[in-house]
C-alpha cells in the first residue's frame, strides 16, 4: 500500500447558492476513528440531498463532514483500530453521512459493502444511497410483497430506476410516473409494467384502471403537495404510502377521511440523520437479500452521466435540469 498523502482535493460549498458555489479546495486527509475505514474514492454519487445542502436548506447532521456527497466507491486504504469487517485493499461501496466529493472519504466499517464483480466503480459509486433508500422505504416500511402493485413517482430518477428493478425482482408489478415519452420508454425497458406521463395522463385514473379498480398496494412518493391526496385516491384498501421527499410542497390540504375509510398507512423517512446502528442493520439485510441480485447482474444502477470531481458544479447543473435518467456520478 502506497504511503498516504497528508492532503487531498475535495469539492466544498463556498456559501449557500447555485452550482457555481461548488469549489475544488485542498483539505487535510481525514483520519479514521476506531470503527471507520478510509476509502480512496474512485466514484461518488450525486443526489438531490447534495443539491439541497448546497442551496443551504439541508445541513449535515452533527459530526458529519461539511462536504457534500452521500455515497462512494473505492479502495480501503486505512483502518480504524476496531475495524473487523474490512481489510486494506478491499474494493467497497458505502453510504456516508457526508464527505463523498473528495479524493478520500471516511465510512463506518459497518456501512460498507463489497463492490459486485459485475459493476464498474462508477456503477458502485451510484448504488448505496438509492439501494438503501429503496430497500428501507419500499420493503421495510412499505412491506411490498410478491403479487402486489408498487407505484413509484419520479420513476426515471436514480431512486425510481432502482425501485423498478427491485420491485420486479421481488415479484411485484410496478407503475411509474414520469415527465416525458423518453423517460417512459427508459422505465419500461427497465421492467416497469406501466409508465404514466403525468403531463398528459392522470396517474389516479391510470392506476385504478391498471389494477381493475382495486388500487395500488405501495406508493413511493418524492413529490408531496397535491400528490398526497391523489395518492390516497390511487391506493388500495390497506395501502401503504411512503414519503421520502418533497420536490413539490411539504404542505397540502387533504381529506383525511380517505385514510380511515381505506385503512391506509402514510409513513416516511429520511436516511442521512439515522444512527450508525440503524444504517448498519439496513446494510445487513441488503447484504443477505439484495446483494446476490447485484452480483449476478439482475439489478444495476441505470447510469445517466459522469463528471470529473472538479466539475461537480456541472453535475449539479445536469441534475437541476431534471432531464437525467438514472444516476449522475463524479469520478476521481
Per-residue tens of pLDDT for the chain, all 332 residues? 679 999 999 999 999 999 999 999 999 999 999 999 999 999 999 999 999 999 999 999 999 999 999 999 999 999 999 999 999 999 999 999 999 999 999 999 999 999 999 999 999 999 999 999 999 999 999 999 999 999 999 999 999 999 999 999 999 999 999 999 999 999 999 999 999 999 999 999 999 999 999 999 999 999 999 999 999 999 999 999 999 999 999 999 999 999 999 999 999 999 999 999 999 999 999 999 999 999 999 999 999 999 999 999 999 999 999 999 999 999 99
Whole-model pTM?
0.95
Q: What is the pLDDT of residue 222?
A: 96
Contact in structure between 175 and 151 (CB atoms under 8 Å): yes
User: What's the count of helices (H) and strands (E) in the chain, helices before strands?
Assistant: 11, 15
**Per-residue confidence (pLDDT) for residue 49, from 0 to 100:** 95
Q: CB-based burial of residue 288 (10 Å sphere; 0-12 exposed, 13-18 middle, 19+ buried)?
A: exposed
Q: What is the spatial distance between Cα 189 and Cα 187, in angstroms, rounded to a whole number? A: 5
User: Domain 7-127+272-331: which topology?
Assistant: Quinone Oxidoreductase; Chain A, domain 1 (3.90.180)
| CATH superfamily of the domain spanning 131-268 | NAD(P)-binding Rossmann-like Domain (3.40.50.720)
C-alpha 267 chain-centroid distance: 18
Q: Cell numbers 430497500 correspond to what residue?
A: 135
Choose among 137, 143, 277: nearest CA to 220. 137
Q: Under 8 Å CB-to-CB from 180, ≥6 apart: which residues?
A: 197, 199
Q: Are 150 and 167 in contact (CB under 8 A)?
A: yes
* Cβ pair 64, 276 in contact under 8 A: no
Task: Give the model's pLDDT for residue 2.
Answer: 76
Segment holding 195, helix H or strand E = strand 194-197
The pLDDT of residue 250: 95
The rounded distance, in Å, linking the Cα atoms of 279 and 274 is 7
Domain edges within the chain: 7-127+272-331, 131-268
Residue 99 CB neighbour total at 10 angstroms: 25
* β-strands 112-114, 265-268 pairing: unpaired
On the CB side of 59, CA atoms within 13 Å amount to 4
3-state SS class at 5: coil
Question: What phi, psi does 305 have (nearest 5°)?
Answer: -165, 160
User: Are 62 and 1 contacting, i.e. CB atoms less than 8 angstroms apart?
Assistant: no
Q: Are strands 104-108 and 71-79 parallel, antiparallel or unpaired?
A: unpaired
β-bridge partners, 95: 71
Distance of alpha carbon 56 from alpha carbon 46, whole angstroms: 16
Q: pLDDT at position 291, please?
A: 97
User: CB-based contacts of 106: which residues, under 8 Å, 6+ apart?
Assistant: 30, 32, 33, 36, 37, 38, 39, 65, 96, 99
Residue with grid cell 384498501, as numbered in its chain: 237
Q: How many CB atoms lie within 10 A of CB 88?
A: 13
Q: What gap in Å lies between CA 97 and CA 70, rounded to an integer?
A: 6
pLDDT of 177: 98
Amino acid at each position: 500500500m502506497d504511503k498516504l498523502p497528508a492532503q487531498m482535493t475535495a469539492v466544498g460549498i463556498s456559501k449557500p447558492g447555485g452550482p457555481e458555489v461548488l469549489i475544488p479546495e485542498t483539505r487535510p486527509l481525514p483520519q479514521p476513528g476506531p470503527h471507520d475505514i478510509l476509502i480512496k474514492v474512485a466514484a461518488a454519487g450525486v443526489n438531490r440531498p447534495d443539491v439541497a445542502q448546497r442551496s443551504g436548506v439541508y445541513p449535515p447532521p452533527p459530526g458529519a463532514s461539511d462536504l457534500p456527497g452521500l455515497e462512494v466507491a473505492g479502495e480501503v486504504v486505512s483502518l480504524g483500530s476496531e475495524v473487523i469487517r474490512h481489510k486494506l485493499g478491499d474494493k467497497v461501496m458505502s453510504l456516508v453521512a457526508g464527505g463523498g466529493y473528495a479524493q478520500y472519504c471516511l465510512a463506518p466499517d459497518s456501512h460498507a459493502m463489497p463492490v459486485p464483480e459485475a459493476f464498474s466503480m462508477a456503477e458502485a459509486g451510484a448504488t448505496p444511497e438509492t439501494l438503501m433508500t429503496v430497500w428501507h422505504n419500499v420493503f421495510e416500511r412499505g412491506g411490498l410483497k410478491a403479487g402486489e402493485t408498487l407505484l413509484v413517482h419520479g420513476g426515471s430518477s436514480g431512486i425510481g430506476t432502482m425501485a423498478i428493478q427491485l420491485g420486479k425482482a421481488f415479484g411485484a408489478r410496478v407503475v411509474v410516473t414520469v415527465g416525458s415519452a423518453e423517460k417512459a420508454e427508459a422505465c419500461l425497458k427497465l421492467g416497469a409494467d406501466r409508465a404514466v406521463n403525468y403531463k398528459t395522463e392522470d396517474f389516479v385514473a391510470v392506476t385504478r384502471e391498471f389494477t381493475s379498480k382495486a388500487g395500488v398496494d405501495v406508493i413511493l412518493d418524492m413529490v408531496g403537495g397535491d400528490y398526497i391526496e391523489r395518492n390516497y385516491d390511487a391506493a388500495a384498501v390497506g395501502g401503504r404510502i411512503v414519503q421520502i421527499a418533497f420536490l413539490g410542497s411539504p404542505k397540502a390540504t387533504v381529506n383525511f377521511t380517505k385514510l380511515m375509510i381505506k385503512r391506509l398507512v402514510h409513513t416516511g423517512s429520511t436516511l442521512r440523520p439515522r444512527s450508525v446502528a440503524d444504517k448498519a442493520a439496513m446494510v445487513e439485510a441488503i447484504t443477505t437479500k439484495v446483494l446476490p441480485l447485484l452480483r449476478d447482474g439482475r439489478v444495476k444502477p441505470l447510469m445517466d452521466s459522469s463528471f470529473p470531481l472538479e466539475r461537480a458544479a456541472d453535475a449539479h447543473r445536469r441534475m437541476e435540469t431534471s432531464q437525467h435518467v438514472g444516476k449522475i456520478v463524479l469520478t476521481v
